[in-house]
Amino acid sequence: MKNKINNVNLSKTKNVLTVDYKKDKIILWLFLSPAFIFILFANIYPICYTIFMSFFKYNKIIPGTVPVFIGISNYINIFKDVVIRESFLKTVYFVAATVIVEFIIGMLLALLITVNLKAMQYLRGFFLIPLMMTPVVAGTLWRTMFDPMSGPINYFIKLFGFQNIDFLGNASRALPSIMVVEIWQATPVVMFILAAGIQALPIDIYKAADVDGASKWQIFTKITLPLLKPVFFVALLLRIMDAFKVFDTIYTMTYGGPGRATELISMLIYKQGLKYFDIGKASTLSVMFLIIIFLISINFLRNIQKKEL
Amino acid sequence: MLNSDYAKIEDIMAKFKFRKVLGKVLLYILTIFIIIVIIFPFYWLVTTSIKYGIDISATPPIIFPNRFTLENYITVFNSHIGKYILNSFIVSISTTFLAVLFGSLASYSLSKTYIGSKIRNAFLIGVLIVRIFPPVVTTMPYYLIITKFGLYDTQVSMIITYVAYSIPFVMWLMLGFFQELPSEIDRAALVDGCNLWQRFTKITLPLALPGIAVTAIFAYIMAWNEFLYASVLTSQNAKTLPVLIASYISDQRIQFGPMTATGVLLVIPVLLFSILAQKYLVRGLTFGAVKG
Amino acid sequence: MAEIRFENVTKKFGKVIAVNNFNLVIENQEFVTLVGPSGCGKTTTLNMLAGLEDPAEGLIYIDNEIANIQHPGKRNIAMVFQSYALYPHMNVFNNIAFGLKVKKVRKEEIFKKVNEAAKILGIEDLLNRKPAELSGGQRQRVALGRAIVRNPKVFLLDEPLSNLDAKLRIQMRADLRLLFNRLEGTVVYVTHDQAEAMTLSDKVVIMQYGLIQQVGKPAEVYDFPKNIFVAGFLGSPSMNFIDSILEERLDGTYIKTQNFEFKINNEKASKIKALNKLGSLIIGIRPEDIKIGRPDCLIDSKIEVIENMGSSYIVYFRVGSNRVVATTERYSNLYNGQNIKIGFNLDKLHIFNKETGVAAF
C-alpha cells in the first residue's frame, strides 16, 4: 500500500521521529556502542597502524629490531620495484578477466533462469554449491583435479586426443587456472543478483514491447539491459572488490608460484608481512593496495549515483 | 480460402514448432552441461575421499571407482580432528551470536534518524570502507597486536577477530532489513504508548526475524570458511578446519586422501544447510544489489 | 474529551515550509476535517498533534496542557493511519489490545474492553485472525477498534477511507459519523476528498501550501467561499470560472465577459470595487446554479458532452472560449451539439479578484 507522500522531502524522513526524546537517544547510543567499539579498535586502529608503519623501516625477522622512520622511502622503493609492479598488473588482469567472464556467463544464466522459472526452483540449490564451498576446499579440490598425473581434467583432455597439460606447474597456465576456479565460485552470485534484478523489472514494459513487435534481441538490448544498469553496476562493484580479496585459492593452489606467476598483491603482502616479516614494506604495499581499491570504488559509486538520478 | 493458403499456414506453423522444439532441446543440453560443471567437482571431492590411496594417485585417474574405503576418514579422525571441528564450531557460533547481536542493535540505531545525519553518514561510510578492504591488509597488525596481548592461538582472539570482520557485513544487511519495515507500524506503536525499547522488542524484532535469520546464516558460513586470519593467528590449540586442510599441502607432497576427507567434513554441513535454507540465502545475496 | 488549540504552529522540512503559522481552535467533541490537495500540510499538522512530528515554532494545547513536549503515547490520543498500520505478526485481538497491554491494564479489563470495541465495529468473529487474512474494509475496522478501545481524548484519522474502493468508501462515511457521534469524541480527520470533508464534519479547515484558506461549517464554506481556491476545491463537479471585467455605465454597473454581460446591484458593486483592482475579475457559478433553456436565459451556448450519471445529467457547454459545466435532472430534452441558451442564478454568483483570488462577497 503506497503511503501518500505529502512533501517531497518526506521521502528522506521515512523513519523519522523528529521529536527529541532524551531517554531514547541514550538507548540508541547504547545500541550503537558495542559495534562502534569493535569497528574503532578492530578495524580502524589496525588500518591506521598499517598506514603509520608504512613510513618506517621495520624488519622483524631480526630479533630486537626497532622501527626506523624513513618517510616515504618505502613508497619510492615500491615504485622502482619491478616485481611489485608486475604483481599489480597481474592482479588487475586477474580481476578484470574474472569479472568480465563472470558477468557474461552470469548474464546468460540469469536470462536462462528467468525464462524457466520452474527449473529455477530445483536448480537453485545446485548453484549454491560452488558459492558456499569453502575457498580452501575449492582450491585444494581443483588442485587435485588439475593434477597432470591423476587429475580428471587431464583425463578428459587425453580422451579428446590432446596432450597432457600441466596447469599449475606452468607459469603461463597457472594464473588462468586459478581464474577458472574463481569464476567457478563467483558466477552463481552474479547470476542470482542479475536474475533478481531482471525479475524486479515491471512486466508491463515487456508486454508493451511485445505488442509493439520487438524481437527478443531488441527487447534484451533496448529494454532489459538499460533498466538493469543500477543493479548491474552494484553487482559489478561488489564482484570487483571481492576479486581483489582473493587469497585462499591462490594459497592452496600455487602459493604464488610457479616462480611469481600467480603472486598477486594479496599474496605478496602476505609473504612480505608474515613470511619475511618485513612489516614496513608490507604496510606500504597494503596502503597502495587500499588506495587503488578505494579509487576504483569511489569512481564506481559516483557512476551509480549518477545513474540513479 | 484457397488450398495454397492453408498450405502456407501449415508450413509456418511447422517451422514455428521446429524452432520451439529446437529451442527446448538446446535449453536442456545447456542445463545438463551446467549441472555437470557444478556437480562434477563436488563428486570428485567426495569420491576421492573414499578411495584407496593407491587409487587416488592412479594414472590415468579412476573416474568411477569400484572399491571404497574409509581409511582416509580414519586417518583424519586419528589426528585430533575432533578438536579442530570443535574449534571451528565454537568460534563460528560465538562469532555469529555476537556479530548479529551487536550489528543488529547498531543497525537499528542507524535506521532511526534521531542520531543526526552527520554521524549516521560517518558510520555508513565507515561500514562501507570496512566492507571493501581486503583482509590481508590487517593480518599483520592483528598478528602483532594479538601476540603482544598474549592471545596468540586462542579461541578468544579468533572470535574477536571474526566479530570485527563480520560486524560491517551484518550492519549492511540488517540496515536494509530494518529500513524495509513499514514506518507506520512503528508510529502506531508509538501512539499506542510504547517507548523505544518496547517498540524494538515487541514490534521491530519479531518483524525482522527473517532478516536476522539470513544474516546469521551468512555470518556463520563466513566464519566457518575463513582461512587467512585463522592460519595467521592460530597454531595447535585453536586451529580451525580450513587451516587443517591447507596443512596437508607441503613442499614434498599433497596428502590427497585425508585432505579431501577433511574437505568433505568441512563442506558437507555448509552445503546441506545451504540447500535447506536456499530461499534465505538467495534473498541475502541479492539484497544489497536490488532495491525494492 | 478535550479542546485542542493550535497557536502559531509552523513546521519546516529543510527549507520547505510545510505548515505556516497555523492557528485553530477545536471545541470539545467537535468533528473537524483538515482538507486540501496533496502537499498542503494537513497530514503534517495531524502528525504534530499526534506528537509524531515536532513543530518548529508554536504551541499545541490538548485539554489546556501544552502538548509539544509530551510523548505521543502519553497524550491520550488514538490514531488511525492511512495504511491502517496493523501489527502483522499479531492477531486482531492482540492488535486491538496492544495499547492496553502496554499500559499494563489487567487481563480481564482488556478482555472486556476489546470485546466491547469489537462488538461496536462488528468484528467479533475476526478476533483470532491475522491482518493478512482480512479484507481492506475489515482491516480498517480493526484499526478503528485499536483506536476506540483506549478511550482517548482525541481521535486522529489520517485518510482512513482512501484505500477503500469507491462504494465501500461511501458506505463507511455514514458508519464513521454514527460511530463518532456515539462515542462523543473529539475528532480530527484528514482527507483530500472534499466530499468526505463536507459530509462528515462539524467544521472544515481547508488548507493549501501549508496555510489555512478558510475555516467554517461545511455549508458556510460551500456557500460563502472566501477565495477562489476554496470555491474551486469544494463541490463536484467544481465551480465554473469565467474571466470578466467591471464596467461602469450610465445606467449602472455591469459585469462583462467575453460572451455575455449582466447588471449587478449597487451593494454588490461597491463590495467589488472594494477589492481594489477593478479591471480583472473572475465570475464563479456552481453547476447546480445554472439554468438551462428557461425563458429568462440569455447566454448563447452549445452543448458539447452530456454525461448521464443515472440520477442526473452533467452537461458540458461551450460559451465562446469557455467551457461551462452544469448539472440538471434527467429527462431534460437535451442532446449533443444542441444550441441552447443558459442563464445564471445571480443570487448565487461569486466574484473573485483575478490577481489575489479573494472573493468580493
Of C39, C51, C159, the CB nearest to A19: C51
The CATH H-level (homologous superfamily) assignment of domain A72-308 is MetI-like (1.10.3720.10)
Q: What percent of chain C has pLDDT over 90?
A: 38
pLDDT bracket for residue A19 (50, 70, 90): very low
> How confident is the model at residue A57, as a pLDDT?
78
> How confident is the model at residue C199, as a pLDDT?
92
| pLDDT (average), residues C57-63 | 87
More confident residue, B17 or B77: B77
Cis peptide leading into C237, omega within 30 of 0?
Answer: yes
**Neighbors of chain A with 3 or more C-beta pairs under 8 Å:** B, C
**Three cell numbers written together for A172:** 603461463
Is the CB of A20 less than 8 angstroms away from the CB of C43? no
For residue B197, is pLDDT > 90?
no
Distance from CA of C85 to the nearest CA of B (A): 5
Distance from CA of A212 to the nearest CA of B (A): 20
> How confident is the model at residue A20, as a pLDDT?
47
What's the fold here for domain B76-287? MetI-like fold (1.10.3720)
- Provide, as residue numbers in chain B, all residues whose Cβ is less than 8 Å from the Cβ of C72: 190-191, 193
Three-class secondary structure of residue C350 per DSSP: strand
Of C73, C78, C85, the CB nearest to B185: C85
pLDDT bracket for residue A165 (50, 70, 90): confident
Distance from CA of A6 to the nearest CA of C (A): 4
Q: Which residue from C minimizes the CA distance to B191?
A: C73
Is the CB of C83 less than 8 angstroms away from the CB of A1? yes
Q: What is the mean pLDDT of chain C?
A: 88
**Three cell numbers written together for A51:** 598506514
For chain A, say whether C43 makes contact (Cβ under 8 Å).
yes
Of A235, A245, A252, the CB nearest to B135: A245
For chain A, say whether B82 makes contact (Cβ under 8 Å).
no
Q: What is the mean pLDDT of chain B?
A: 82
- Give domain limits for chain A: 16-53, 72-308
Distance from CA of C81 to the nearest CA of B (A): 7
Across chain B, the runs of DSSP E, i.e. the strands, are none
Q: What percent of chain A has pLDDT over 90?
A: 8
What are the phi and psi torsion angles at C156 (to 5°)? -115, 130
> How confident is the model at residue B114, as a pLDDT?
59
Of B113, B144, B171, the CB nearest to A15: B113
What are the phi and psi torsion angles at B149 (to 5°)? -85, 5
- Provide, as residue numbers in chain A, all residues whose Cβ is less than 8 Å from the Cβ of C39: 6-7
pLDDT tens for residues C122-169? Answer: 888 888 999 999 998 899 999 999 999 988 889 999 999 988 888 888
- Provide, as residue numbers in chain B, all residues whose Cβ is less than 8 Å from the Cβ of A116: 27
> How confident is the model at residue B168, as a pLDDT?
86
Query: Chain B to chain C, count of Cβ pairs less than 8 Å apart?
Result: 58
Is the CB of C102 less than 8 angstroms away from the CB of B203? no
Q: What percent of chain B has pLDDT over 90?
A: 10
Among A135-144, A176-185, A256-265, C195-204, the minimum mean pLDDT is found in: A256-265
Q: What is the DSSP letter of A9?
A: G
Is the CB of B260 less than 8 angstroms away from the CB of A151? no
For residue A35, is pLDDT > 90?
no
**Neighbors of chain C with 3 or more C-beta pairs under 8 Å:** A, B
Q: What share of chain A is helix, strand, coil (3-state, %, to 5)?
A: 75, 0, 25
Domains of chain C: 4-233 (3.40.50.300), 241-353 (2.40.50.140)
For residue A17, is pLDDT > 50?
no
pTM for the model? 0.82
Closest to B114 measured CA to CA, from C206, C157, A22, C165 = A22
More confident residue, B161 or B281: B161
Is the CB of B190 less than 8 angstroms away from the CB of C83? no
Is the CB of A134 less than 8 angstroms away from the CB of B246? no
- Give domain limits for chain B: 3-49, 76-287
Beta-bridged to residue C62, according to DSSP, are: C4, C65
> How confident is the model at residue B289, as a pLDDT?
61
Is the CB of A28 less than 8 angstroms away from the CB of B196? yes
Distance from CA of A3 to the nearest CA of C (A): 7
Distance from CA of A98 to the nearest CA of B (A): 17
- Provide, as residue numbers in chain B, all residues whose Cβ is less than 8 Å from the Cβ of A144: 44-45, 48, 254, 256, 259-260
Please return the burial class of C276, using the count of CB atoms within 10 Å of its CB with bins 0-12, 13-18 and 19+.
exposed
> Got the DSSP string for B55-80?
HHT-SS--SS-S----HHHHHHHHTT
Q: Which residue from B minimizes the CA distance to C72?
A: B191
pLDDT tens for residues C88-134? Answer: 988 999 999 998 888 888 899 899 999 999 998 888 888 899 999 99
> How confident is the model at residue A64, as a pLDDT?
67
Is the CB of A3 less than 8 angstroms away from the CB of C82? yes
Of B184, B190, B195, the CB nearest to C83: B184
For residue B291, is pLDDT > 70?
no
Query: Chain A to chain C, count of Cβ pairs less than 8 Å apart?
Result: 42
pLDDT tens for residues B115-164? Answer: 566 777 777 777 777 777 788 888 888 888 888 888 888 888 899 999 98
Count of residues for chain B?
292
Task: Give Cβ neighbours of residue B106 (< 8 Å, ≥ 6 apart).
Answer: A31, A32, A34, A35, A36, B123, B167, B171
**Three cell numbers written together for B45:** 571431492
Is the CB of B193 less than 8 angstroms away from the CB of C81? no
What are the phi and psi torsion angles at A117 (to 5°)? -60, -35
Task: Give Cβ neighbours of residue C234 (< 8 Å, ≥ 6 apart).
Answer: C194, C197, C198, C206, C221, C222, C225
Is the CB of B38 less than 8 angstroms away from the CB of A13? no
Indicate the helix (H) or strand (E) that contains C18. Answer: strand C16-26
pLDDT bracket for residue B67 (50, 70, 90): confident
**Neighbors of chain B with 3 or more C-beta pairs under 8 Å:** A, C
Closest to C18 measured CA to CA, from C5, C9, C7 = C9
Q: Which of C13, C60, C157 to mutate to test the interface with A (most CBs of A within 10 A)?
A: C13
- Provide, as residue numbers in chain C, all residues whose Cβ is less than 8 Å from the Cβ of A8: 16
pLDDT bracket for residue A117 (50, 70, 90): low
Q: What angle do CA B144, B148, B151 make, to 5 degrees?
A: 100
